[in-house]
Amino acid sequence: MSYIDIEQQLNAITRDLQQKLENAGAVDKKGDTKDIAKFNQIIDATIDKCGKILQKLEMEPYDPNSVNIVQSRIQWLRTVRENQTLNWLTNANSEEEKIIKGQNYGSLREVFQDGAKRVTRLFGFQRKHAPQKTVREK
């Protein structure tokens, strides 16, 4: 099986995840959790389905990227379960988000440009102060 087939199987498993959670009464329309036990049960069942695909891949020859795709989807589901919400990306309070918000960047492009300037300064400093060979040693 190619990684495209694996991706399609994973998409079929996780496509209606929000609808399943809403029908079970685990989340509201915004994606916030109402019933933690039902939420965890449905997410765990979805992780188990993805784990079965991973077990199939281990028993037969496969594209090396396929395992990474399945493992990343499982990790995404674990992150959803850990944060107890489907919209965890919009509610993220990571250190990176705090740094970006603290520096008042207007866009992702400005963040990239600032990072590029810092890398250039770092490597420019190393080139400037690196020892130079002037004579070939024999």
Residues 59 and 27 in one domain: yes
Task: Give dist(CA 47, CA 65) in Å, integer.
Answer: 19
d(CA 119, CA 135): 30
What does the H/E/C string look like for 52-84?
HHHHHHHHCCCCHHHHHHHHHHHHHHHHHHHHC
Claim to verify: residue 73 and residue 19 sit in the same structural domain = yes
* Average pLDDT of the chain, as a whole number: 77
Q: Is residue 136 part of a domain?
A: no
Percentage of the chain beyond pLDDT 70 is: 71
pTM of the complete model = 0.61
Q: Measure the CA–CA gap between 47 and 70, rounded to whole angstroms.
A: 10
For the stretch 56-104, pLDDT in tens is 888 877 677 788 888 889 998 998 888 887 765 555 556 656 665 666 5
For residue 119, pLDDT over 70 is answered with yes
In this structure, is residue 19 part of a structural domain? yes
Sequence-distant (≥ 6) Cβ neighbours of residue 38 within 8 angstroms: 21, 24, 25, 26
Q: Are residues 26 and 47 in the same domain?
A: yes
